[in-house]
Structure 1
Amino acid sequence: MSTDIKEAPALTPKDFATDQEVRWCPGCGDYSILAQVQKIMPGLGIPRENIVIISGIGCSSRFPYYMNTYGMH
């Protein structure tokens, strides 16, 4: 029986981005929020499969579609 513990590879902001086209209006503040959330997530050290993004109504409700984590709308 092996007792080796394998560390997960380090994540980057791109690991939290999806292939979905961002569909917010030009100049919308949601772009900045998305970029900053994707930027800080790797530093938290939480595996993507343990993260859930929950959104409400309005334009920001598309947020889970742009994050490579679990999401609920």
Structure 2
Amino acid sequence: MAKIALLIGVSEYREGLSCLPGTQEDIQAMQRVLHSPDVGGFDQVQVLPNPDRTQMESAIEILFTENRNRMT
């Protein structure tokens, strides 16, 4: 079974909230950890930095529909 991950990092907000300065660096670091054969050994790690709602929903839907057969 393939190991896949979707990392979503939101650091920018429109509703008057402060930015989260380390978010983008964190998802890049997590991607390296998950890809590392000594730690995570993931086959695929997709990073989605600051997506809008449509991009996020689409990425989640694709993640589950394209990999449905691999999860069983």
TM (norm. structure 1) is 0.28
Of Structure 1 and Structure 2, which has the larger fraction of its residues in strand? 2
TM (norm. structure 2) is 0.29
Structure with higher RCO (Cα < 8 A, 6+ apart): 2
Quick check: which has more Rg, 1 or 2? 1
